[in-house]
A = this chain, B = another copy of it.
Amino acid sequence: MSDVFNALAHPVRREILKLLRDGAVNAGDIAAHFDLAKPTLSGHFTVLKTAGLVTTERRGTTILYRLNMSVMEEAVAALLSLTENGEGEKKWKFVRRSS
């Protein structure tokens, strides 16, 4: 979980995750959103991938980055576990909508 929070700790990486909310995006299109050199973005991709927050799929010459929802869910659960002591009533309820 350290890798996950570490990945979330950089504003550029959080912005990358937001770009992936509505579907997979290729590395070049992501890089175009930032005033940073491509190798720098590639490094950020590696951090996100190491944390498991994104997955990749080669699509011809480009590489698609996709959000890994299950790891995002685990991060929320880990965050909640820091405040819930397990004994007695839970203070929070966090559920995926069934539809």
Q: How does the 8 Å CB contact mask read for A16-41 relative to B, with 1 for contact and 0 for none?
A: 01100110000000000000000000
Q: Considering the complex, which residues of chain A in the window 34-66 have a beta carbon less than 8 Å from any beta carbon of chain B?
A: none
Query: Copy number of this protein in the oligomer?
Result: 2
Mostly, the A contact residues are mixed
Given contacts A72-B79, A79-B79, is CB(A96)–CB(B92) below 8 Å?
A: yes
Question: Once the chains bind, are B82 and A91 in contact (CB under 8 Å)?
Answer: no
**Chain A count of residues within 8 A CB distance of the other chain:** 35
Q: A17-B82, A79-B75 are in contact. Are A93 and B94 (CB under 8 A)?
A: yes
Residue from B9, B83, B89 within 8 A of A72 (CB atoms): B83
- Given the interface pairs A76-B79, A83-B72, A94-B94, the reply to whether A8 lies near B5 with Cβ below 8 Å is yes
